[in-house]
Amino acid sequence: MPKPIVAITIGHAHYTRIFSDAAWRALNSFADVLHHPGAEPADKAALLALLPVADACITGWDVATIDADVVAAAPRLRAIAHTGGSVKRFVSDAVWQHGIHVTSAAPALARDVAETTIGLIIVGAKRILPLGQHVREGGWRECTAWPAREVHSSVIGIVGASNVGRHVIDLLRPFRAQVLLYDPYVSDEEAARLGVTKVDLPELVRRADILSLHAPATPATHHMISRELLQQMKDDAVLINTARGALIDEPALVEELSKGRFFAFLDVTDPEPPALDSPLRRLPNVVVTPHLAGCITDCGHLGEMAVEELRRFFAGEPPLNRITPDQFGRIG
């Protein structure tokens, strides 16, 4: 029986970043591989050239939309394994109409974001950045503007039990902190299994010493951290956003940060990057990083998960993270 043909719709420049040696060995063990012809990410012309003989494809962040034209030109295409998180940008209705199996490596990517978040939680609780600046300016322990605290005695509010949110909850277990969760799709019973207390969003914002956002960007979550909620945050709280900038009313956030009441770590902004004259670039109580919470140079685990998804698909085994059209309303 011939092996299925798997097209790699990722530019060569990303190969070493996304595919480990183990991923290539695993893929070649069950499939014949059709490589992207050039160094650039797969545009529509490249998809039309690659996919007509492909039984499956592995996609990356820069893949073109797999629209009706592409699907029509790919009669054998049965599965798409995405090495990134969200598939909403490039998966069209035509993919679902033709019953193509879609998976995402979001759970693998989520672990990287969660680890970054834990680092920011620790640095934020201990006030490392403002206290470091205080010492640089000649001070020592007499600073009272940003009192340091322990993670285990902090109330940590998690907004969104997404892949990332669940990883953060799991990584917080050894710290024994009190963890609050807001997620309308999680029942009280599931929250109990996660070891967290489910509350509504206003209560979570009011009580949290550290507020960490992990919800998807959807119409329902746009500016969910509103002006009113920002005004209710504790003085000396820490706000962390490694999800999407659109979750926060950014002008309102700038207003509150300008009062010096709390500290923010923003790995994402809206727009991204922030304007050169944005106050977010100069306020002393905010740190903006260039959307790097996920993997940067070594993303081999993403390729390994995509390959494993295709191995499972062709072997008739259950997928690790299948995406279905009914999920589109509540995923990023």
Dist CA 68 CA 84 (whole Å) = 22
Dist CA 196 CA 198 (whole Å) = 6
Query: Minimal CA–CA distance to 64: which of 50, 43, 39, 46?
Result: 43
Identity of residue 324: T
Q: Catalytic one among 36, 127, 244, 301?
A: 244
CA angle 234, 279, 139 (to 5 degrees): 65
Q: Catalytic one among 223, 272, 312, 322?
A: 272
CA angle 193, 265, 205 (to 5 degrees): 50
Query: Minimal CA–CA distance to 299: which of 106, 59, 20?
Result: 20
Q: Catalytic one among 98, 227, 261, 291?
A: 291
Dihedral over Cα of 134, 140, 146, 152: its sign: positive
User: What is the edge-to-edge ordering of all strands in the sheet holding 238-241?
Assistant: 197-198, 178-182, 155-159, 210-213, 238-241, 263-266, 286-288
Dist CA 103 CA 324 (whole Å) = 9
- Helical ranges in the chain per DSSP H: 15-18, 21-30, 44-50, 68-72, 93-97, 106-125, 128-136, 163-172, 188-194, 201-207, 227-232, 250-258, 300-315
Q: H or E element: which one contains 5?
A: strand 5-9
291 is annotated as an active-site residue:
yes
142 is annotated as an active-site residue:
no
Q: How many CB atoms lie within 10 A of CB 209?
A: 22
What 3-state class would DSSP assign to 96? helix
227 is annotated as an active-site residue:
no
Residues annotated as part of the active site: 244, 272, 291
